Structure 1
Amino acid sequence: MNAVDEIKEVIKKNKKRVAKELQESKELVFLVKKSITTKLTDEEKGKVKEQLLDICKAIPAFTVFMLPGGALLLPLLIKLIPDILPSAFRADDEPLEEEK
């Protein structure tokens, strides 16, 4: 596998992860709207908490990436602080569902 193929594979994998994170964020919006009119179950409250933490984790990772040299610094930070990434990006070994 050459460098171009590796880059294409990384882009493809992360595209799926971004899509997964967006789907989870849509669920968060739905649950927040639902909480206005009804009481959330403990499971729904847990999902809201997890998604809010994911959003809070994405902001520092994006900020580091945008710094000069951030593309080089972010992988180092991920090695030192693995929890800096949102949940959709953490599990490299976890297979993502194929798009249909």
Structure 2
Amino acid sequence: MSTVDEIKEAIQINKKRLAQELQESKELVFLIKKSITTNLTDEEKAKVKEQTIDICKAIPAFTVFMLPGGALLLPLLIKLIPDILPSAFRVDGEDIIEKK
């Protein structure tokens, strides 16, 4: 496989991961709105907690990426601190491709 093909595949995988993370964030907004009028179940509270943590993880990863040389530094940080990425980005790329 050529480098161009590998880049295209990586873009497609990450596009699907971003879409998954956005979908989960929409669910978070729905649950927060729901919590205003009713009490959430324990399962819903767990989802809110998980998604809030994912959003908090995405901000530092994005910040590192935006730094000069961040595109080189972020993969190194991911190797050292694998939990720095939101949950949608920790799934193997093959799993994302299969979910098409």
Q: Which one scores higher on RCO, CA 8 angstroms, separation ≥ 6? A: 2
Deviation of 1:92 after TM superposition, in Å, equals 1.6
Name the structure where helix makes up a greater proportion of residues. Answer: 2
TM-score, normalising length from structure 1?
A: 0.95
Query: When the two structures are aligned, how many residues end up with a matched partner?
Result: 98
Equivalent residue of 1:95, what SS? Answer: helix
**For 1:91 and 1:33, how far apart are their aligned partners in 2?**
28
Quote the RMSD (CA, aligned, Å): 0.9
The equivalences for 1:1-100 within 5 A come to 1-92=1-92, 95-96=95-96, 97-98=99-100
Gaps of 5+ in 1: none
> Is contact 2:13-2:93 (8 Å) kept?
no
**For 1:94 and 1:3, how far apart are their aligned partners in 2?**
18
**For 1:52 and 1:80, how far apart are their aligned partners in 2?**
23
Alpha carbons of structure 1 residues 33 and 93: separation in structure 2 relative to 1, 3 Å: same
**For 2:94 and 2:43, how far apart are their aligned partners in 1?**
22
Following TM superposition, the consecutive aligned residue runs of length 4 or more in structure 1 with deviations greater than 6 angstroms are none
